[in-house]
Amino acid sequence: MKEHDSTAFVDSGDSKGRKRQAQRRELYAYLRKHTVSRWMAAQTLNIPLQSVCWAVGQFCKADAVAVVRKGKCAVSGEWVEYTTTDPEKFPKSNQQKIFSDEQG
Q: Where are the domains of the chain?
A: 6-103
**Along the 104 residues of the chain, how does pLDDT read in single tens digits?**
455 554 445 555 688 889 989 999 999 999 999 999 999 999 999 999 999 999 999 999 999 999 999 999 887 889 999 999 999 999 987 665 656 655 55
User: Quick one: which of 58, 57, 39 has its CA closest to 49?
Assistant: 39
Contacts of 35 (CB under 8 A, 6+ apart): 68, 69, 82, 83, 84, 86, 89
Domain 6-103 architecture = Orthogonal Bundle (1.10)
Dihedral sign, Cα of residue 79, residue 84, residue 88, residue 92? positive
pTM: 0.75
